[in-house]
Amino acid sequence: MKIPINIPDIGKEEIREVTAVLSEKSLTSPSFDGGKRVQQFEKLLSKFVKSKFAVAVNSGTAALQASLYAIDIKPGDEVLVPSFTFVATANSVKSVGAKPVFVDILKDNYTMDPNDLRKKITRRTKAIIPVHLYGHMAYIDEILEIAKKKHIKIIEDASQSLGSKLSSKHSGTFSHLGCFSMYAGKVITSGEGGAVVTNDKKLFEKLKQIRNHGLAKNNLTTTLGLNFRLSEIGAAIAKIQMKKLPHLLSERKKNAQILTELLKKYDIVLPVQRKNETVNWYLYTIAIKNRNKMMKDLNAAGIGARVYYYPPIHKTPYYKTKIHLPNTEWAASHVISLPVHPKVRKRDLRKMRNIIS
């Protein structure tokens, strides 16, 4: 595609930093606190989102898995998740032996419906993983209120929402743990990578063990862990990307505003930014009747429009269930995501408008 749905913004600074790692031959570190660049990245991330702690790991999925281990989710436990998200959210739950229970979404921003969430809670429910989808904030205040009454822990899947905020508070910082992804297509990248943020020191210390085979500072295994470490090469890229993040977010916001202005008079459901919400515009997602034809036309013109997510998780072969999630199924048949990343130019946005109109 001439204009991919997302593309990493890598420049000379990242190349210099990676070259320095290669020259030092310090490609990774098994130490309790991680390597030098891992620690530098963690400090930059926690400062940006205003959390007390951050723990770098090697993927967004690893961030979710490590978080589930950290709050002692066990086989037989139920974890409530949306079906309208990337399958990693549910996979992470299955990977620790627990059962993902699928919750419907709201049509206005495609995130977890608090009312359906309330109906799905049972005595086996031990955690909720709301997803801040496409960069839009889930209805986290309502979800927190429900969870508090039922003594249920929350892990925010903020993989797509680094830089998004609600009432000036960053995604990932509303709950016990917040998980970010630094996959190549995200707002910042480390190639493959992720991170968990928390304000709980005990969880922070436990996460550092979990990411390194459960090893404590004394090098003895005291909890279950795996190799979730982020390499120094990945951290070197992520460190520079964090410094670029305000600019990258600004460019995405500008493109999203232009595209909204270009498309507002057409019969399309446009993404809406709620009151007191800041969206990072990871994906600009519209809903449209003739979705499949529109995607073919956009792709034929070199625009990397994509459908996220069809089918929804509860309709995939592995997870297929008989439950009916009407809003999820409607969204899966109508949404299409358009590129608004920093490499997109105004002429590209006009081209999208001309095809969609």
User: Do 224 and 249 fall within a single domain?
Assistant: no
User: Do 98 and 194 fall within a single domain?
Assistant: yes
User: Do 255 and 228 fall within a single domain?
Assistant: no
User: Do 234 and 299 fall within a single domain?
Assistant: no
The predicted pLDDT at position 160 comes to 98
| 331, pLDDT greater than 90 | yes
d(CA 55, CA 205): 9
User: Do 178 and 30 fall within a single domain?
Assistant: yes
The predicted pLDDT at position 1 comes to 73
Burial of 343 (C-beta count, 10 Å sphere; 0-12/13-18/19+): middle
d(CA 230, CA 240): 15
| Boundary (domain end) residue, out of 200, 222, 240 | 240
| Boundary (domain end) residue, out of 194, 214, 240 | 240
d(CA 166, CA 141): 9
The domain that holds 298 is classified in CATH as 3.90.1150.10
User: Do 170 and 290 fall within a single domain?
Assistant: no
pLDDT for 109-167, tens place per residue? 999 999 999 999 999 999 999 999 999 999 999 999 999 999 999 999 999 999 999 99
Domain assignment present for 4: no
The domain that holds 160 is classified in CATH as 3.40.640.10
User: Do 335 and 310 fall within a single domain?
Assistant: yes
The predicted pLDDT at position 230 comes to 98
| Boundary (domain end) residue, out of 240, 272, 290 | 240
User: Do 39 and 155 fall within a single domain?
Assistant: yes
d(CA 168, CA 276): 7
User: Do 201 and 289 fall within a single domain?
Assistant: no
Mean pLDDT, residues 314-331:
96
User: Do 33 and 163 fall within a single domain?
Assistant: yes
User: Do 85 and 166 fall within a single domain?
Assistant: yes
Tell which residue, 180, 138, 136, has the closest CA to residue 158. Answer: 180
- Which range of residues forms the domain containing residue 35? 12-240
Number of domains within the chain: 2
3-state SS assignment for residue 156: strand
Burial of 173 (C-beta count, 10 Å sphere; 0-12/13-18/19+): buried
Beta bridge partners of 286: 336
